[in-house]
Amino acid sequence: MRPVRRLLGLAAIAAGAWWLFGRRGRGGGERVAVGYADGSAVTLEEGAPQRERMLEIARAALAR
């Protein structure tokens, strides 16, 4: 059950980041930023397999 929670948490973070970055209007492209509890963050570059997976999860969550 814990891995599912972690995946859902990451999906929520990715969806929130995607939504926030999308509202900024910078270039109109999709961006993925993952924030951690310690305050650090990572932005996944275009073409990274992890980025594509996070975008799929975020799109599915937002489509519901």
d(CA 56, CA 43): 16
Which residue has better confidence, 6 or 26?
6
Q: What is the CA radius of gyration of the chain?
A: 12
- Report the pLDDT value the prediction gives residue 38, as an integer from 0 to 100: 94
13-61: pLDDT as tens digits: 888 888 877 666 555 567 888 899 999 999 988 888 889 888 888 889 9
Query: Alpha helix locations (H) across 1-64?
Result: 2-24, 49-63
- Report the pLDDT value the prediction gives residue 36, as an integer from 0 to 100: 92
* pTM to 2 decimal places: 0.47
Closest CA to 19 of 48, 64, 63, 62: 62
The domains of the chain are located at: 2-63
- Report the pLDDT value the prediction gives residue 1, as an integer from 0 to 100: 63
